[in-house]
Every structure is written in structure tokens, then in C-alpha cells.
């Protein structure tokens, strides 16, 4: 069986073209994956930053609430001491 030389060259040309297409597709896929990786890394960093900000705000809010409670407790303690001191003082009506 005899294979014409032109047919062989045409066949080789298609093979090279397919190889170039596969190579181009692989390069494109690689770029897409790299972009997706970069985007996911950025999303994770942004999420971590958001979590840190929310944690700091929650801590600050708790500190403020604790300070308010401490001031309220100190005020009540002071009021109780003043009331006890007034009860211990002799009555001023004897003048």
C-alpha cells in the first residue's frame, strides 16, 4: 500500500495544529487557575481582616460595658456608705 506524500504532510499539519491548540488550552487553564488562586487568597485575607475588626469591636464593647457596670457598682456602694453615715450621725433636730 502506498501513502501519498501530500496526505502525510497534511496529517502531520493537523497533528501539530492539535498540539498547539492543546498547549494553548493548557496555558489558558493554568492562567485561570492562577487567577482563581489569587482571588481565593485575597478573599481569605479580607475575611480574616473582617474577623479581626469584629473581634476588636466586640472586645471594645465588652470593655465599655464592664466599665459602665463598675461605675454603677461604685456609685451604689458610695450611696450605701453615705446612707450608713447619715444613719450613724446624731439627729440635728435637738438644737
Q: What is the pLDDT of residues 3-29, one digit of tens each?
A: 554 444 445 556 767 788 889 999 999
Mind giving me the DSSP string for 19-88? Answer: HHHHHHHHHHHHHHHHHHHHHHHHHHHHHHHHHHHHHHHHHHHHHHHHHHHHHHHHHHHHHHHHHHHHHH
Q: What is the pLDDT of residues 40-85, one digit of tens each?
A: 999 999 999 999 999 999 999 999 999 999 999 999 999 888 888 8
Amino acid at each position: 500500500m502506498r501513502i501519498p506524500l501530500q496526505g502525510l504532510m497534511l496529517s502531520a499539519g493537523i497533528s501539530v495544529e492539535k498540539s498547539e491548540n492543546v498547549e494553548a488550552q493548557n496555558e489558558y487553564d493554568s492562567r485561570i487557575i492562577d487567577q482563581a488562586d489569587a482571588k481565593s487568597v485575597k478573599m481569605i485575607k479580607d475575611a480574616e481582616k473582617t474577623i479581626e475588626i469584629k473581634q476588636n469591636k466586640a472586645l471594645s464593647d465588652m470593655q465599655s460595658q464592664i466599665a459602665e457596670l463598675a461605675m454603677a457598682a461604685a456609685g451604689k456602694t458610695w450611696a450605701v456608705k453615705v446612707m450608713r453615715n447619715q444613719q450613724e450621725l446624731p439627729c440635728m433636730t435637738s438644737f
